[in-house]
Each structure stands twice: as C-alpha cells, then as structure tokens.
A and B are shown apart, each in its own frame.
Chain A
Amino acid sequence: MTEFALQDQIRARAKELLASEQVQCVIGYEHGSRGQIRPVFIHQSTDTDRLVWDQGCTHNLVTYLRDKKGAFGSGEHPQRVAIIVKPCDSRALNVLLAEKQIEREHLYVIGVVCAGIVEGAGYAGQSSDKLQARCLRCNDRVPVIYDLLVGEPTQAETEDDYIDLAELEAMSPAERAAFWLKQYERCILCYACRQVCPGCYCSICMFERDDSLWVGIAAGTKEKEAFHLGRAYHLAARCIGCNECERVCPMELPLSLLNRKLAKEVQALFHYRAGDKPSQSPLATMLAEGEEFPA
C-alpha cells in the first residue's frame, strides 16, 4: 500500500471519529512551513484533509497526551483523543497506561505500520532518503497497541547489537566521565529533551524546583550533569527509544547513548523492554516469582 493510501485511510477514520463525536481531537501530522512535517491537532471533521503520513513523520505524538488529561486538580475531564502512533510511539502508550497517566477508554489509537523514518525529518531542508539509525536497528513494524491498524503488517529481521555503545563501554570510568562532562558542558538547559519526552510528565520537574532542593538554577556543568543523569535514571526501563530527546537537542548531545545503555542493562538483567505489553507494570514495582507485596 502506498503512503497516499495510508494517508487516505487515516483521514477517513479521523473524519468519522470527529463527526460522530467519538473523539474531540485527532493528534496527527501535517505539512508545516518550509516543507516540514509537524504535529497537528484536528478538532473539526472538515479539517481532516490536513492529516498526512509519510516517512518524515518523526515526532512521537504521545508526549502531547499530557496536555489532554486535564490540569491536575482543575477538575477538568480528560479529552477523548485519537492519536497516530508508530510502533515505537505505541510502546510509550503502554508505559503511560501502566503508570496510570492515561486511560484507555479516552483514547482511540491509529497505529501505522512503519518501515522507518528518514534522517533529518522534522527540519527544513534536511530530510534525506537514509533511514534514521534508530530505525535501521528497529525490529518493530507493527504498533503494540491500536484500535485501527493502517498498512500491511510486515516482518523485519534486524538485531539490535548496541554497536553504538561499544566505544563508550570500552572506556575507563574516568574517560567516560570526561566524555560526558564535555557533552553536558554544551547543554543550554533549554529542557527540550525533557519537554519532548512522553515519559517526562511530572508537573514540577525535580530539577526545576523553586526551592533548589536538588539543583540550583545556575547553568553550570555540575547542574547539567545532575539533570541529564537524573533524567536518564528516571527513564531507565521506561524509555522506549523514540530518540526524540536527541533529535530536538539544539546542541546535539548524544542522549541516545545514555538511554540505550540503561535499556541494554535493564534488558540483560530483567529481560524487560519498556512498553512491550499493555498491562506491564513499571519495572520498579514488578515482583519476581514467589514475591508478594507486603500486607
């Protein structure tokens, strides 16, 4: 099936969902300015022709669900939302479901069979024919959760060998620390990595508390290190590898190396991959066989 056919299918279902008021909003992709693909929020059934699908749809839209659940303590009801997800994005849905951040009945999931997203997607004039590195090592073609599947399911035979981590793993702890401090130094603390992350949904980030409980407001290397390492640990066994943090970083910090190192360790130690199953509980609260929660 061509991309155009997939796009038509997405538009048609979005139109039905909005016209029948099953959802209040469809979160998808549209053509933006300067030939870029960007996230779009469709509220009217007459606007569904704005929706597009192609290999430039790199954004993980799941991150926007935190804006749809109603402000904490406001008494607002969560919106009923339809969302377009790739296989990687769909695992973020499972993470949020397991962490009780979203409710399944408020969601209509349009899953798209994905053959990979191209490099430079999301930025003007940078799109290429080459697939992103994360897509080249990705084995998932079909979303793990969906109400409507768009596209013909295919099989992939790729093995993630974590070869990108080899260089860092070969370093001594001191060399590794030096490598990372040099990277952190460049960080401008714009927090785009955190903001774009579906797993970072705390209403007040611990690294930005007004009382400076954990870190102060200085843009020093020490503060940046605390932020990036802290964020990485908070994402251990939760990061699904959409790599949006690395894509959005204006200073090009290789954040995937941090997240993937933790994902690799978690997989080796616990045979656990974030977001694989719908009812999967967070790793931190999973019990081994024979274990029980204290009464």
Chain B
Amino acid sequence: MKFLSREALQTWLDRLANEATLIAPRLVDGILLYRSVSSARDIVLDYTRPKMSAKEVVLPSSEPILLVEKRGQDVNLSEPPTGEQVVFGLRPCDAHGIAVLDAVFVAQEPVDLNYARRRNATTLVGLSCPQMWEDCFCTSMGGMPNDPSHVDVLLTEVENGYAVTTVTDKGRTLVAELSLQEMEYEPPESVLNEAELVLTQEHWPDRFADQYWDLLAERCLECRMCAYLCPVCRCFDVRDQVVQQGISYSKYDRLRCWDSCTGANYRMVAGGHNPRATKGQRLRNRFFCKFHYFPVEYGLSGCVGCGRCIEACPVNIDIVEVLRDMSRASNAPQTSKVSPNAETGITA
C-alpha cells in the first residue's frame, strides 16, 4: 500500500485549501458538516458522519440556474459561475450517494448543465470508516465502509498516517505531487455490523395499496428533514424571482431549491389538484422511490444506507424497520393488489 504520514496530509490539505475550494468535515456551532475550510486545522478527522450528506457540493439547497438581466430592449442570459472544489473526508456512503445523483443528472441525456458543471469541477477524496456506526446499513445497500468505488482517491487510517488508494485519473492528478511511501502491509478491514437486510424489490408493487402506509404516516410530521439529510434525495422546485425591477433595468433569478415528497404541497399542480394529497401517499412515495421506482428506472438502489434519516427523525420513522416490514409482508398473503405499471412511471 501507499502511505501518507499525518504531517504530510496536513501539508497537503493546507495546499489544497489554497489552490481550490476545499470542503471537509468541520464543526459549525458544534455540528459537524461538510463545509469549506481555509486550513487543515479546521478539519475534523475523527468522526462518524457529518449531520448532512455531501450532496450540497453538487446540488446546493438553493441555487440560481439562470440569471436574467434586461437593459432597455437587450436581454442578457447568463449562468452562475462555478470554481474547482475538492471534497476531503467524504464517507464512502456519501460518495455512493453522489454516484446515484450522477445517474440521474449526467449519465443520460439531457445532461443537467448546472449539476454537470459542478460535478466536473469536483474531486472526491474519501476517508474510510473504520467501522459501521450505529444506524449504518451500507453493506445492505451495496456499499462498504471502505468502498473505493465512487471516490477519486480513498484514504484509510493506519498507524501514524493513511493508506492512499488512487481510483481515477482525476485522483492520480490530485496526488501526483505527493511523495507516497510504499509499505509492505495492507490497511485493516473495517468492522461491519452484523445484520444484513434482505431486499425484496419485486414485491413492492403488491404493497402499493396497503393500509400500512397510511398507518405509518399517522406519526409522520411531514417535515422534510429525512429528504434534506439524505445523500440521494434530489427533488427540487424551480421558481423565477424578481431581484430588481425598473424601467431601464431589471434582474431576475431562476432558482432551483430542494423539495421533498413528504411536504404537503409536493405534488400540487396548477388548479390545486394534488395526486399525492395524503400523508400516507407521500410517505409511501419516499420508500417506493428508493426501493422500487429508482431501482427499476436506473438499476441502482435509491438508498445508500448511511442511516442519517434514522438518527434524525424526531418521530422514529425508521427506514430499516420499513424494509423489514416490507420483506415480512412479501411472505404474507396479499391483502390488496394494484397494477404495478400504473405507478412505476411516477419517479421523482
């Protein structure tokens, strides 16, 4: 393995912070978040996972996707600028989340230009989890706490430093200037949680009309916390906003902002009709999207098993409990049937 000492890491991170926007786990008023740092000193290296996922670096909670300026009869359209950014200390599940977002925004035409611009300017440096933490279930979602698949470079803590695995060309370019020592030993494997979940994706359509969802949703508060903390949830709303309006000069922003299927007005359409009018229908969408619509549409799980929503939900809506209920229900006689095709088209 290639070895980077602790001291060399600090020097490298300081240099990265000077050359690009460096985003890393940092304490903000006592809460760990992926945020830009000005020096290696600000970076927290010993952590479970930041409170929010890293999706903000490629899909900000709100961003102008079009800026319109009107001067007299001239209309100018411009796009917001994006600079180079390096994300350090990314957990493998969060990198997995970005890979899922890539499938939606850039893998197929039409490419989402804003997302693509940010994504191309982003280099991901992962940091392996030494163990799966409480609430973690990444191994059930096709991940591993030391999975290098979705990062450009992966660091794994070893004695006095880090094992460095370069994964992509982008990663090779990033570490090219580092003098890495060749060591004879390999980094230790991460400690895994025991319980593996059995996923029964094909049975989900049979559960569409179950009363289960209405009953589960009774305690749902319809906040959007689960979706906003999630590395994969990517729904957004777009609205035009007046910044300045005058006779000779006007300015408008077209804003894109996060949205969530748990929110009451999520599927409201013109005229006030809402095809997902009840809490149960919307909460069902959350789970169907992750475990049925998304896998069917993209061949990937819509959940990476980071466990953030489990930890944060104030009323204990537990995604693992839902998965267990679903696999139990798939073995039980069906109480109701619907045509699966009626719904598979409705993805976020």
Interface residue ranges, A against B (CB under 8 Å): 32-34, 36-41, 59, 63-64, 67, 122-125, 182-183, 186, 188-192, 194-196, 204, 208, 210, 212, 216-220, 244, 247-248, 250-252
A64, B225: Cβ atoms closer than 8 Å: no
Please judge, given known A-B contacts A188-B52, A191-B263, whether A41 and B222 are in contact too, CB under 8 Å: no
* Stretch touching chain A among B138-146, B189-197, B314-322, B336-344: B314-322
**14 CB-based A-B contacts, threshold 8 Å:** A32-B316, A32-B318, A34-B318, A39-B315, A41-B215, A123-B314, A188-B52, A188-B61, A189-B61, A212-B239, A217-B62, A217-B255, A251-B31, A252-B31
A38, B265: Cβ atoms closer than 8 Å: no
Nearest Cβ on chain B to A197's Cβ, whole angstroms: 10
> Considering the chains assembled together, what is the distance between the CA atoms of A250 and B223 in angstroms?
11
A-B pairs with the 8 shortest C-beta distances? A192-B223, A38-B316, A248-B314, A32-B316, A219-B62, A195-B221, A190-B225, A219-B61
- CB of B117 within 8 A of chain A? no
Please judge, given known A-B contacts A124-B134, A217-B237, A250-B51, whether A196 and B62 are in contact too, CB under 8 Å: no
Interface size class of B (residues with CB under 8 A): 35 or more
Interface residue ranges, B against A (CB under 8 Å): 28-31, 51-52, 61-62, 134-135, 215, 218-219, 221-225, 228-229, 237, 239, 241, 253, 255, 257-258, 260, 263, 265, 268, 279, 310-312, 314-316, 318, 320-321
Nearest B residue to A251 via CB reads: B31
A218, B257: Cβ atoms closer than 8 Å: yes
> Considering the chains assembled together, what is the distance between the CA atoms of A184 and B22 in angstroms?
23
Nearest Cβ on chain B to A90's Cβ, whole angstroms: 20
Nearest A residue to B321 via CB reads: A33
Determine the chain A residues whose CB is within 8 A of the CB of B315 once the complex forms: 38-39, 59, 122
Picked from B31, B135, B223, the residue with its CB within 8 Å of the CB of A196 is B223
A190, B239: Cβ atoms closer than 8 Å: no
B218, A216: Cβ atoms closer than 8 Å: no
Picked from B221, B224, B229, B239, the residue with its CB within 8 Å of the CB of A63 is B221
> Considering the chains assembled together, what is the distance between the CA atoms of A210 and B311 in angstroms?
31
Nearest Cβ on chain B to A167's Cβ, whole angstroms: 15
Nearest Cβ on chain A to B95's Cβ, whole angstroms: 21
Picked from B229, B253, B257, B316, the residue with its CB within 8 Å of the CB of A219 is B257
Nearest Cβ on chain A to B314's Cβ, whole angstroms: 4
A40, B258: Cβ atoms closer than 8 Å: no
B255, A216: Cβ atoms closer than 8 Å: yes
Please judge, given known A-B contacts A189-B61, A218-B255, A219-B62, whether A212 and B241 are in contact too, CB under 8 Å: yes
> Considering the chains assembled together, what is the distance between the CA atoms of A151 and B173 in angstroms?
69
A218, B135: Cβ atoms closer than 8 Å: no
Determine the chain A residues whose CB is within 8 A of the CB of B265 once the complex forms: 204, 208, 210
Nearest B residue to A41 via CB reads: B218
Nearest Cβ on chain B to A126's Cβ, whole angstroms: 10
Determine the chain B residues whose CB is within 8 A of the CB of A210 once the complex forms: 265, 268
Nearest Cβ on chain A to B309's Cβ, whole angstroms: 10
Q: Of B224, B225, B229, B318, which is in contact with the most chain A CB atoms at under 10 Å from its CB?
A: B225
Nearest Cβ on chain B to A278's Cβ, whole angstroms: 27
A183, B29: Cβ atoms closer than 8 Å: yes
Determine the chain A residues whose CB is within 8 A of the CB of B219 once the complex forms: 38-41, 64
> Considering the chains assembled together, what is the distance between the CA atoms of A194 and B29 in angstroms?
22
Determine the chain A residues whose CB is within 8 A of the CB of B310 once the complex forms: 34, 124
Nearest A residue to B28 via CB reads: A186
Determine the chain A residues whose CB is within 8 A of the CB of B223 once the complex forms: 190-192, 194-196, 248
A124, B135: Cβ atoms closer than 8 Å: yes
Determine the chain A residues whose CB is within 8 A of the CB of B312 once the complex forms: 250
B314, A218: Cβ atoms closer than 8 Å: no
Nearest Cβ on chain B to A285's Cβ, whole angstroms: 28
> Considering the chains assembled together, what is the distance between the CA atoms of A186 and B224 in angstroms?
15
Given contact pairs A33-B320, A192-B314, A195-B221, enumerate 8 new A-B contacts (beta carbons under 8 Å): A41-B219, A124-B134, A183-B29, A191-B263, A217-B257, A218-B241, A219-B257, A248-B221
> Considering the chains assembled together, what is the distance between the CA atoms of A283 and B70 in angstroms?
48
> Considering the chains assembled together, what is the distance between the CA atoms of A34 and B263 in angstroms?
26
B62, A218: Cβ atoms closer than 8 Å: yes
> Considering the chains assembled together, what is the distance between the CA atoms of A220 and B257 in angstroms?
10
Determine the chain B residues whose CB is within 8 A of the CB of A218 once the complex forms: 62, 241, 253, 255, 257
> Considering the chains assembled together, what is the distance between the CA atoms of A49 and B258 in angstroms?
41
Nearest B residue to A203 via CB reads: B264
Determine the chain B residues whose CB is within 8 A of the CB of A251 once the complex forms: 31, 51
Nearest A residue to B56 via CB reads: A188
Picked from A32, A67, A188, A189, the residue with its CB within 8 Å of the CB of B218 is A67
Nearest Cβ on chain B to A115's Cβ, whole angstroms: 23
Determine the chain B residues whose CB is within 8 A of the CB of A182 once the complex forms: 29
Q: Of A34, A124, A194, A195, which is in contact with the most chain B CB atoms at under 10 Å from its CB?
A: A195
> Considering the chains assembled together, what is the distance between the CA atoms of A54 and B15 in angstroms?
54
Nearest B residue to A193 via CB reads: B223
Determine the chain B residues whose CB is within 8 A of the CB of A188 once the complex forms: 52, 61, 225, 228
Picked from B218, B224, B268, B320, the residue with its CB within 8 Å of the CB of A64 is B218
Nearest Cβ on chain B to A132's Cβ, whole angstroms: 14
Determine the chain A residues whose CB is within 8 A of the CB of B314 once the complex forms: 59, 122-123, 192, 196, 244, 247-248
A33, B316: Cβ atoms closer than 8 Å: yes
